[in-house]
Protein backbone atom coordinates (compact mmCIF):
# COMPACT_ATOMS: atom_id res chain seq x y z
CA UNK A 1 0.00 0.00 0.00
CA UNK A 2 1.33 3.45 -0.90
CA UNK A 3 2.02 5.80 1.99
CA UNK A 4 -0.17 8.53 0.47
CA UNK A 5 -2.81 7.69 -2.11
CA UNK A 6 -4.97 9.93 -4.20
CA UNK A 7 -7.49 9.42 -6.98
CA UNK A 8 -5.60 10.67 -10.05
CA UNK A 9 -8.74 11.98 -11.75
CA UNK A 10 -9.13 13.94 -13.88
CA UNK A 11 -12.16 15.56 -12.36
CA UNK A 12 -13.93 17.54 -15.07
CA UNK A 13 -16.46 19.95 -13.57
CA UNK A 14 -18.35 23.04 -14.74
CA UNK A 15 -17.77 26.45 -13.25
CA UNK A 16 -19.67 26.89 -10.00
CA UNK A 17 -19.64 23.20 -9.12
CA UNK A 18 -18.55 21.78 -5.80
CA UNK A 19 -15.86 19.11 -5.99
CA UNK A 20 -14.19 17.00 -3.34
CA UNK A 21 -10.94 15.05 -3.38
CA UNK A 22 -9.91 12.36 -0.95
CA UNK A 23 -6.48 11.33 0.16
CA UNK A 24 -5.64 8.31 2.30
CA UNK A 25 -2.49 7.85 4.33
CA UNK A 26 -1.02 4.66 5.71
CA UNK A 27 0.77 5.72 8.89
CA UNK A 28 -1.69 6.29 11.71
CA UNK A 29 0.94 8.26 13.63
CA UNK A 30 0.93 11.10 11.09
CA UNK A 31 0.13 14.38 12.78
CA UNK A 32 -0.02 17.07 10.13
CA UNK A 33 -1.23 17.21 6.58
CA UNK A 34 -1.01 19.59 3.66
CA UNK A 35 -2.74 20.26 0.39
CA UNK A 36 -0.59 21.78 -2.33
CA UNK A 37 -1.65 23.05 -5.70
CA UNK A 38 0.59 22.45 -8.71
CA UNK A 39 -0.03 24.06 -12.06
CA UNK A 40 1.32 22.44 -15.21
CA UNK A 41 5.11 22.68 -15.36
CA UNK A 42 5.25 24.76 -12.19
CA UNK A 43 6.31 24.20 -8.62
CA UNK A 44 3.83 23.12 -5.90
CA UNK A 45 2.35 25.91 -3.81
CA UNK A 46 0.85 25.46 -0.37
CA UNK A 47 -2.92 25.69 -0.38
CA UNK A 48 -3.89 24.55 3.11
CA UNK A 49 -2.43 23.03 6.24
CA UNK A 50 -4.41 20.66 8.46
CA UNK A 51 -3.29 20.05 12.01
CA UNK A 52 -6.54 19.22 13.79
CA UNK A 53 -9.92 18.15 12.47
CA UNK A 54 -10.05 20.57 9.61
CA UNK A 55 -9.40 23.96 8.13
CA UNK A 56 -11.39 26.39 6.02
CA UNK A 57 -10.18 29.21 3.81
CA UNK A 58 -12.79 30.88 1.63
CA UNK A 59 -14.04 28.39 -0.92
CA UNK A 60 -11.64 25.69 0.25
CA UNK A 61 -12.28 23.34 3.16
CA UNK A 62 -9.98 20.57 4.30
CA UNK A 63 -11.20 17.88 6.68
CA UNK A 64 -9.29 15.22 8.53
CA UNK A 65 -10.68 11.85 9.57
CA UNK A 66 -8.05 10.19 11.73
CA UNK A 67 -10.11 7.07 12.38
CA UNK A 68 -10.33 6.32 8.66
CA UNK A 69 -6.96 7.89 7.89
CA UNK A 70 -8.06 10.20 5.15
CA UNK A 71 -8.01 13.90 4.40
CA UNK A 72 -10.43 15.56 2.05
CA UNK A 73 -10.33 18.83 0.15
CA UNK A 74 -13.61 20.47 -0.80
CA UNK A 75 -13.73 23.26 -3.35
CA UNK A 76 -16.97 25.21 -3.59
CA UNK A 77 -18.05 27.45 -6.46
CA UNK A 78 -15.26 26.21 -8.74
CA UNK A 79 -13.52 28.78 -10.90
CA UNK A 80 -11.66 28.24 -14.16
CA UNK A 81 -8.52 29.28 -12.32
CA UNK A 82 -8.90 26.33 -9.94
CA UNK A 83 -7.83 24.01 -12.76
CA UNK A 84 -4.62 22.38 -11.52
CA UNK A 85 -3.28 19.26 -9.87
CA UNK A 86 -3.88 19.03 -6.14
CA UNK A 87 -1.22 17.24 -4.12
CA UNK A 88 -1.84 15.65 -0.75
CA UNK A 89 1.33 15.82 1.36
CA UNK A 90 1.97 14.06 4.66
CA UNK A 91 5.13 14.48 6.73
CA UNK A 92 6.40 11.06 7.67
CA UNK A 93 6.28 10.57 11.46
CA UNK A 94 9.17 8.13 11.28
CA UNK A 95 11.52 9.25 8.52
CA UNK A 96 13.66 12.29 9.17
CA UNK A 97 15.93 14.03 6.72
CA UNK A 98 18.06 17.02 7.63
CA UNK A 99 16.30 17.36 10.96
CA UNK A 100 12.86 17.59 9.34
CA UNK A 101 10.21 14.96 8.90
CA UNK A 102 10.41 13.80 5.31
CA UNK A 103 7.46 14.90 3.19
CA UNK A 104 5.57 12.15 1.41
CA UNK A 105 3.73 13.36 -1.69
CA UNK A 106 0.67 11.83 -3.23
CA UNK A 107 0.65 11.54 -7.01
CA UNK A 108 -1.95 14.31 -7.22
CA UNK A 109 -5.52 14.69 -8.39
CA UNK A 110 -6.08 16.64 -11.57
CA UNK A 111 -8.97 19.09 -11.69
CA UNK A 112 -10.25 20.65 -14.90
CA UNK A 113 -12.94 23.32 -14.55
CA UNK A 114 -14.74 24.18 -17.79
CA UNK A 115 -17.06 27.06 -18.69
CA UNK B 1 6.22 34.03 2.15
CA UNK B 2 9.81 33.04 1.64
CA UNK B 3 11.15 33.05 -1.91
CA UNK B 4 13.26 30.31 -3.43
CA UNK B 5 14.71 30.74 -6.89
CA UNK B 6 16.21 28.24 -9.29
CA UNK B 7 18.43 28.66 -12.29
CA UNK B 8 18.17 27.73 -15.07
CA UNK B 9 14.44 27.26 -15.48
CA UNK B 10 15.01 24.86 -18.34
CA UNK B 11 18.01 23.26 -20.00
CA UNK B 12 18.54 21.00 -23.00
CA UNK B 13 21.82 19.16 -23.19
CA UNK B 14 23.52 16.34 -25.04
CA UNK B 15 23.92 12.93 -23.50
CA UNK B 16 27.16 12.68 -21.52
CA UNK B 17 27.39 16.31 -20.50
CA UNK B 18 27.03 17.65 -16.97
CA UNK B 19 24.41 20.15 -15.91
CA UNK B 20 24.47 22.37 -12.83
CA UNK B 21 21.27 23.64 -11.26
CA UNK B 22 21.32 26.42 -8.66
CA UNK B 23 18.85 26.89 -5.84
CA UNK B 24 18.86 30.13 -3.87
CA UNK B 25 16.92 31.37 -0.88
CA UNK B 26 16.36 35.05 -1.63
CA UNK B 27 15.13 36.58 1.60
CA UNK B 28 16.13 34.09 4.26
CA UNK B 29 18.94 31.76 5.21
CA UNK B 30 18.42 28.07 4.66
CA UNK B 31 20.69 25.66 6.49
CA UNK B 32 18.78 22.82 4.88
CA UNK B 33 17.45 22.55 1.36
CA UNK B 34 15.79 19.63 -0.37
CA UNK B 35 16.12 18.39 -3.92
CA UNK B 36 13.19 16.63 -5.58
CA UNK B 37 12.66 15.06 -8.96
CA UNK B 38 9.29 14.73 -10.68
CA UNK B 39 8.67 12.60 -13.77
CA UNK B 40 5.58 13.27 -15.91
CA UNK B 41 2.31 12.41 -14.16
CA UNK B 42 4.17 11.24 -11.06
CA UNK B 43 4.59 12.69 -7.61
CA UNK B 44 7.61 14.52 -6.32
CA UNK B 45 10.29 12.20 -5.04
CA UNK B 46 12.90 13.39 -2.59
CA UNK B 47 16.39 12.83 -3.98
CA UNK B 48 18.54 14.30 -1.26
CA UNK B 49 18.76 16.71 1.62
CA UNK B 50 21.37 19.40 1.24
CA UNK B 51 23.04 20.59 4.44
CA UNK B 52 25.08 23.78 4.57
CA UNK B 53 28.71 23.04 5.25
CA UNK B 54 28.36 19.28 5.27
CA UNK B 55 27.66 16.34 3.01
CA UNK B 56 24.25 15.82 1.52
CA UNK B 57 22.02 12.98 2.65
CA UNK B 58 20.83 10.92 -0.30
CA UNK B 59 17.66 8.86 -0.50
CA UNK B 60 17.86 5.19 -1.24
CA UNK B 61 18.41 4.53 -4.92
CA UNK B 62 19.85 7.96 -5.72
CA UNK B 63 23.47 7.81 -6.88
CA UNK B 64 25.51 10.35 -4.95
CA UNK B 65 28.32 10.27 -7.52
CA UNK B 66 25.91 11.10 -10.31
CA UNK B 67 23.93 13.80 -8.52
CA UNK B 68 26.49 16.02 -6.83
CA UNK B 69 25.17 18.42 -4.25
CA UNK B 70 27.06 21.37 -2.84
CA UNK B 71 25.63 23.65 -0.18
CA UNK B 72 28.43 26.14 0.17
CA UNK B 73 26.50 28.98 1.79
CA UNK B 74 23.31 29.60 3.72
CA UNK B 75 21.57 30.86 0.59
CA UNK B 76 22.85 28.59 -2.18
CA UNK B 77 22.68 24.89 -2.94
CA UNK B 78 23.68 23.40 -6.27
CA UNK B 79 22.80 20.09 -7.89
CA UNK B 80 25.05 18.84 -10.66
CA UNK B 81 23.80 16.03 -12.85
CA UNK B 82 26.99 14.42 -14.10
CA UNK B 83 27.18 12.57 -17.40
CA UNK B 84 23.49 13.10 -18.00
CA UNK B 85 21.51 10.55 -20.00
CA UNK B 86 18.01 10.71 -21.51
CA UNK B 87 16.56 8.87 -18.49
CA UNK B 88 17.69 11.80 -16.31
CA UNK B 89 15.28 14.07 -18.17
CA UNK B 90 12.91 15.30 -15.51
CA UNK B 91 11.63 18.28 -13.54
CA UNK B 92 14.04 19.06 -10.71
CA UNK B 93 12.70 21.15 -7.84
CA UNK B 94 14.46 22.43 -4.76
CA UNK B 95 12.83 23.59 -1.55
CA UNK B 96 13.59 24.99 1.85
CA UNK B 97 11.77 24.78 5.14
CA UNK B 98 10.99 27.98 7.02
CA UNK B 99 9.45 28.32 10.45
CA UNK B 100 6.16 30.15 10.04
CA UNK B 101 3.72 30.61 12.87
CA UNK B 102 5.34 27.85 14.85
CA UNK B 103 5.23 25.36 12.02
CA UNK B 104 7.75 24.43 9.38
CA UNK B 105 6.39 25.50 6.01
CA UNK B 106 8.06 24.28 2.86
CA UNK B 107 8.71 26.69 0.01
CA UNK B 108 9.56 25.39 -3.42
CA UNK B 109 11.68 26.86 -6.15
CA UNK B 110 10.09 27.21 -9.60
CA UNK B 111 11.83 24.08 -10.83
CA UNK B 112 14.27 23.26 -13.61
CA UNK B 113 13.15 21.21 -16.56
CA UNK B 114 16.03 19.11 -17.84
CA UNK B 115 15.89 17.47 -21.25
CA UNK B 116 18.79 15.23 -22.22
CA UNK B 117 19.00 14.39 -25.91
pLDDT in the model for residue B1:
67
pLDDT in the model for residue B101:
57
Q: Are B101 and B79 in contact (CB under 8 A)?
A: no
With a CB cutoff of 8 Å and minimum separation 6, the contacts of A111 are: A9, A10, A11, A13, A19, A21, A75, A78, A82, A83, A84, A85, A86
Give pLDDT tens digits for A32-69.
899 999 998 889 999 998 888 889 999 999 999 999 99
Q: Do B34 and A51 touch (CB under 8 A)?
A: no
Q: Are B2 and B28 in contact (CB under 8 A)?
A: yes
Beta strand segments in chain A, E? 4-6, 11-14, 19-25, 33-38, 44-50, 54-57, 60-65, 70-75, 84-97, 100-105, 109-114
Please name the residues between 27 and 46 in chain A that touch chain B, using a CB distance below 8 Å: 32, 41-46
pLDDT in the model for residue A114:
96
Q: Is the pLDDT of residue A115 over 80?
A: yes
Beta-carbon contacts below 8 Å between A and B: 50
- Minimal-distance CA residue of chain B relative to A8: B41
pLDDT in the model for residue A93:
82
The per-residue pLDDT string of chain B (117 residues; one tens digit each, 9 = 90 and over) reads: 678 999 999 999 999 999 999 999 998 888 889 999 999 888 899 999 988 888 899 999 999 999 999 998 889 999 999 999 999 999 999 998 776 655 667 889 999 999 999
pLDDT in the model for residue A9:
86
| Closest to A46 in 3D by CA, of B76, B4, B71, B45 | B4
How far from B57 is each of A84, A110, B37, B63, CA to CA, in Å?
32, 32, 15, 11
pLDDT confidence band for A31 (50 / 70 / 90): confident
Amino acid sequence: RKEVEQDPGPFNVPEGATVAFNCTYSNSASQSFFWYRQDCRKEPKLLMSVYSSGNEDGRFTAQLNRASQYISLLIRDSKLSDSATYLCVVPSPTEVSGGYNKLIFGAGTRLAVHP
Amino acid sequence: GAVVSQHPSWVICKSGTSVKIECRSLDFQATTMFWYRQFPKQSLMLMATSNEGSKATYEQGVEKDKFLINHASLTLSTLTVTSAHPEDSSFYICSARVKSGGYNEQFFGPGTRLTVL
